[in-house]
Amino acid sequence: MDDAGENGHGCYTEHGVSGYGVAIKLSHDQTMDEAWIKSMAEEMMVRVADLCMEHGANAIGHIKAHVRTSAGTVKADTIGTSHGAYSQGTISQPVHELYMAVNSIVQGIKEHVVAEATLDGIHQVAEERGLHVIKEKEHTYFDEFDFVKSDEEFRREFQEQLEKSEG
């Protein structure tokens, strides 16, 4: 197989599938309840998918987010703008900040374009909704097994990761 840069394929397969992941910490001056967080996460997933398609993607494998807060978790995802987005999970009380891991798997555009569309979509929705992006860090792919840890353990490890990258 040729190098991805030479044949126009994406980063993962000979079929041109590219992926990108980012972990972010977001805060809001006002508290965010479960409905607001789900709506925001769904909107972000659809915006990222829209931007990928605008940049020439052939198909969306998935755009998904795992959201962690001190009051619970939410998962949101889409497989393309025509399918809308879906979220599930429970936030037991309003919060001011959250951690979000976003993964984008897209066919037909290169990894750096998927990264650009993912970050642009997150930042656009964050700005529109009055969220502050406190920190972002690219990450390797997260799957459901990364989220079986306790909320406290996950937040501690994520905070340590962010602090290391600042140093």
Q: What is the reported pTM?
A: 0.77
Q: Is residue 51 part of a domain?
A: yes
Q: What are the Cα distances from residue 141, in Å, to 35, 67, 98, 138, 144?
A: 27, 15, 19, 10, 10
Give the chain's domain count: 1
Strands 59-69 and 131-138: unpaired
Is the pLDDT at 3 greater than 50, yes or no? no
Residue 143: which pLDDT band, with cuts at 50, 70 and 90?
very low
Task: Please indicate, yes or no, if residue 36 is contained in any of the structural domains.
Answer: yes
DSSP at 8:
-
Task: Classify residue 167: in a domain, yes or no.
Answer: no
Domain-located, residue 133: yes
- Give the separation between CA 162 and CA 102, rounded to whole angstroms: 16
Please report, for the domain that includes residue 103, its CATH number.
Answer: 3.30.70.360
pLDDT tens digits, 146-164: 444 566 776 677 677 667 6
Domain holding 154, by residue range, is: 4-162
